[in-house]
Structures are given as structure tokens and as C-alpha cells.
Amino acid sequence: MVILGIDPGLLRTGYGIIAVKDKKPSFIDCGFIGTSSSTSFPLRLKKIYDSLSSLIDKFQPDVVAIEDTYIAKNAQVALKMGKAAGAAIVAAANKKRKIFSFTPLQIKQNVVGGGNASKEQVSFMVKQILKLEEEPLADASDALATALCYSSYAQYQDHLEKVE
């Protein structure tokens, strides 16, 4: 099974792709889609959508796992992050992929063992689990953690909240 994890963000949307065989995850690719704040908002969403669509075409993931947006202190930031997540969801839906979402708490508990884990702890555990030589950048690390979270929860797939 190939899983595409996504950490949505307007400036940087992280992505991480893993394969799982015999319950053992392995690294395929990761990175981020960057947009410029000088570009119009609709064009930034289009870039996220187009880039994720291309990644889905290239890697053919079976499942897309997306980190839920959290309630930010600034409502405008939360709304923009939600729109970036929407662009990711539409890209996956148009490619007819199964889509699941996880809260940051679920991801941290799954990958690190505690919901209060720092980004550094998540990145360290992603490196260990996937046997990477170095820690991935923050957005890519969060996306890989999201993919790893799905791989752990996959055995309970009937109980996962599918994005409809």
C-alpha cells in the first residue's frame, strides 16, 4: 500500500509518501509545495491543487491522509489553512483516492506516543521509524507522520473518519 500524507498550509503544504508492506513502512519521497504571499490567494490554492494532483499521478497512492487544521489563535489563519486543506481534498477526490483525516493530537500520539510532542520530537521519530539518514524539513516531516498515522490505524479502517 502506498500512502500520501499531507500537512496543509498556505505558504508551505508538506507531503510525504510511504509504502507499507507486511506492516513495515518505508520511505518513498517527501517535500513541500511552496507558494508566495505576493501571489493571489486563488492562484496559491490552484498551485497546491495542481502540485498534489501531479504527485498523485506520479506515485499512485492508494490512500491520502490529511492533517486536520487546528484552531489557530488567528481566525483568518485557520480559515486559510482550511482552504489549503480543501484544495488537497479536492485533488485527492478528483483522482478517486480514499481520503482520511487525523488531528494533530492523533498523529503525535501515534508517532511519538504523546499528544503534547514537539515538532522536533515528531521529526526525530519519523526519522527513526523510516530509517532516514537525516530528519526531513518540518512540513514534510509532519506529512510523513500523517502517513505513518494512517498506516497504524489502517487495521481499524472501518472506524476511521473518512472525508466524504
Residue 41 in any domain: the answer is yes
Residue 164 in any domain: the answer is no
The separation between CA 22 and the C-alpha centre of its own chain, rounded to angstroms, equals 22
Q: Which residues are catalytic?
A: 7, 67, 139
C-alpha cell at 30: 517527501
pLDDT (tens digit, 0 to 9) for every residue of the chain, 164 residues total?
Answer: 999 999 999 999 999 999 999 889 999 999 999 999 999 999 999 999 999 999 999 999 999 999 987 666 777 777 888 899 999 999 999 999 999 999 999 999 999 988 888 889 999 999 999 999 999 998 999 999 999 999 998 766 655 555 55
Residue 138 in any domain: the answer is yes
Number of domains within the chain: 1
> What CATH number did the domain enclosing 74 receive?
3.30.420.10
Residue 27 in any domain: the answer is yes
- What's the domain range around 43? 2-159
CB atoms within 10 A of CB 134: 7
Query: Is residue 22 helix, strand or coil?
Result: coil
